[in-house]
Amino acid sequence: MPSKGAKESAGAPGDRPSPRRRRADAERSRSAIVDAAVRLLGERPEASVEAIAAAAGVTRQTVYAHYPSRNEVLTAVFDRLTAETDAALDSARLDELPAATGLLRLLDVSWEIADRYPGLRHAEPPPADRRQESEQHRPITDRLERIARRGQESGEFDRGAEPRWLAAATVALGHAAGAEVAAGRMTPAAAAEALRTGVLRLYGADAEARPLPDE
Amino acid sequence: MPSKGAKESAGAPGDRPSPRRRRADAERSRSAIVDAAVRLLGERPEASVEAIAAAAGVTRQTVYAHYPSRNEVLTAVFDRLTAETDAALDSARLDELPAATGLLRLLDVSWEIADRYPGLRHAEPPPADRRQESEQHRPITDRLERIARRGQESGEFDRGAEPRWLAAATVALGHAAGAEVAAGRMTPAAAAEALRTGVLRLYGADAEARPLPDE
DNA sequence: GGCAAAGTCGTACACCTTGTCAAAGTTAAG
DNA sequence: CTTAACTTTGACAAGGTGTACGACTTTGCC
């Protein structure tokens, strides 16, 4: 790419909080694109921009009018899913539960959402944004971290591990459980159960403090 | 490149045992390509076939003469690394150690090798072979599984979890630890330590059975 | 040493995908 | 209704994958 002008001034791709004068039209396109991308990438992570555009009912150029690159679309998809999970976790009122219970609750909620978009687990994180891959999970890991800390202070969890690491490890175990299901080596129920007990062990939760598993 | 069509049906990437009618020349090229690929992809996972070929000192066409597609090269790289790890684990004599000690030993050995090729952690698994992604780890997970089973039978580990799941979870935790280091959120030493204790907890190892951490 | 086959190179091509550009047509907003 | 925002059409450059084939080197082996 010799010409890399970057003079996309007039156009307004992903914009800041100032609702300057964006038309409802554009907003509709944006979400149509993300919707389609979520759906398509959920099945075929390598779907092209063309395919996404078609599925969204717009042209490829329109996609580029809103997102400067394919990666930005990927990021938008990721953000959408994270937001969805985050919202679901909000209504779960984790903070009002005992740490261990809250942890299990979080696991269930996240698990269910992640399960809705099977292919997205393998969606390659945007190569450029790879370093921010963990930032994407931030809202979720933050909650995990808080729960871990709270449980450690209340004595529900062992104090031997750093909350940040526990959070990362939890996400990793969640992915592993999902992969086992995807590979057909475990049933969803078995994987969910294994995940629950595994995480509790990781946190050093008292075995007897364990609430009963649902279903 | 069409010259080798029929012969390669078996497709076993190990390829050592059948020097049937392959020239030393070709063998040299093959390993030069994999060498270069390991090196290049270790830094830049999206390296093109052209780049790999150049680094190997051959032409792109020669690469295609040996590997029908880019993915096959990726697979060969993966296999090479797995083989290396497997060999290292062989000389570690894990079976002669107590299960818990052997587990920690395996962790250390694998960790060190994985650490040698930082970028490869993020190398996108060949889209086509994605379902076999776990098969690639097979030699390692098999060992893990065996250790888990052995430890459970000897009473060193808790019996509450299936060995297969423990193996998968261990690999996942290993990746997570590596990611934390790569992201600069943990020092290698801290991550390795967190991994050790985390895995032991996961397996339900008696805390007192824990050998002292080296270094 | 010489010869045929295996292997490699050079060049060329078909195809796809990502980004970019500009002009013309539509649609929403004031 | 008029303007600016948005979308579409169409075209293009760059770069990657995979294929094809003729010509040139190297190896294996007699």
Q: In which band, very low, low, confident or very high, does the pLDDT at A43 lie, cut at 50, 70 and 90?
A: confident
Q: Which residues of B touch A186 (CB under 8 A)?
A: 165
Tell me how far apart the alpha carbons of residues B75 and B30 are, in angstroms, rounded to a whole number: 13
Tell me how far apart the alpha carbons of residues A103 and A170 are, in angstroms, rounded to a whole number: 10
Q: In which band, very low, low, confident or very high, does the pLDDT at A138 lie, cut at 50, 70 and 90?
A: confident
| Region of B57 on the Ramachandran plot (φ > 0 left; ψ -120 to 50 alpha; else beta) | left
For residue A123, the one-letter residue type is A
Kindly calculate the radius of gyration of chain A based on its CA atoms and give it in whole angstroms: 20
The average pLDDT across B181-210 equals 88
Q: In which band, very low, low, confident or very high, does the pLDDT at B123 lie, cut at 50, 70 and 90?
A: low
- Checking if the pLDDT of A127 tops 50, the result is no
B/e letters for B8-34, b = 16+ CB within 10 Å, e = fewer, are eeeeebebeeeeeeeeeeeeebbebbb
The average pLDDT across B84-96 equals 95
SS3 state of residue A191 = helix
Q: Min CA distance, A80 vs chain B (Å)?
A: 23
Identify from B165, B173, B195, B208 which residue to disrupt to test chain A contact, counting A C-beta atoms within 10 A and taking the largest count.
Answer: B165
Measured in angstroms, what separates residue A33's CA from nucleotide C21's C1'? 22
* A168 close to B183: Cβ distance less than 8 angstroms: no
The average pLDDT across B126-143 equals 71
- Checking if the pLDDT of A210 tops 80, the result is no
Phi (first) and psi of residue B16, to 5 degrees: -70, -50
Q: Would you state the pLDDT for residue A171?
A: 94
Q: Do A197 and B134 touch (CB under 8 A)?
A: no
Q: Would you state the pLDDT for residue A133?
A: 64
Partner A contacted by B185 (CB < 8 A)? yes
Q: Do A130 and B124 touch (CB under 8 A)?
A: no
Q: In which band, very low, low, confident or very high, does the pLDDT at A42 lie, cut at 50, 70 and 90?
A: confident
The average pLDDT across A46-63 equals 97
Tell me how far apart the alpha carbons of residues A105 and A109 are, in angstroms, rounded to a whole number: 6
Would you say the C-beta of A28 is within 7 Å of strand D?
yes
- Checking if the pLDDT of A70 tops 80, the result is yes
Partner A contacted by B132 (CB < 8 A)? no
How many percent of chain B have pLDDT more than 70? 79
| Residue among A162, A172, A180 minimizing CB distance to B175 | A172
Smallest Cα–C1' distance to nucleotide D18: which residue has it?
Answer: B69
Partner A contacted by B159 (CB < 8 A)? no
Identify from B74, B162, B201 which residue to disrupt to test chain A contact, counting A C-beta atoms within 10 A and taking the largest count.
Answer: B201
Average pLDDT of chain B, as a whole number: 84
Who wins on pLDDT, A171 or B11? A171
Q: Which residues of A touch B125 (CB under 8 A)?
A: 122
How many percent of chain A have pLDDT more than 90? 65
Q: Which residues of B touch A124 (CB under 8 A)?
A: 124
Measured in angstroms, what separates residue B61's CA from nucleotide C11's C1'? 11
Q: Which residues of B touch A204 (CB under 8 A)?
A: 201
| Residue among B46, B165, B180 minimizing CB distance to A180 | B165
The average pLDDT across A99-112 equals 95
The average pLDDT across A15-38 equals 82
Q: Min CA distance, A133 vs chain B (Å)?
A: 9
To which residue do tokens 């069409």 refer? B2
How many percent of chain A have pLDDT more than 70? 79
Q: Would you state the pLDDT for residue B124?
A: 54
The average pLDDT across A184-205 equals 95
- Checking if the pLDDT of A52 tops 50, the result is yes
Q: Do A168 and B179 touch (CB under 8 A)?
A: yes
Indicate the pTM of the whole model: 0.83
To the nearest 10°, report the CA torsion of B51, B53, B57, B62: -160
Q: Min CA distance, A25 vs chain B (Å)?
A: 36
Identify from B142, B173, B210 which residue to disrupt to test chain A contact, counting A C-beta atoms within 10 A and taking the largest count.
Answer: B173
Q: Would you state the pLDDT for residue B3?
A: 37
Who wins on pLDDT, A13 or A159? A159
Q: Would you state the pLDDT for residue A126?
A: 52
Q: Which nucleotide is nearest to A68 (CA to C1')?
A: C19
In sequence order, which residues have a C-beta less than 8 Å from that of residue B96 and are 6 or more positions away? none
Q: Would you state the pLDDT for residue A183?
A: 85
Measured in angstroms, what separates residue A54's CA from nucleotide D10's C1'? 17
Q: Would you state the pLDDT for residue A118?
A: 73
* A26 close to A34: Cβ distance less than 8 angstroms: no
Tell me how far apart the alpha carbons of residues B210 and A2 are, in angstroms, rounded to a whole number: 59
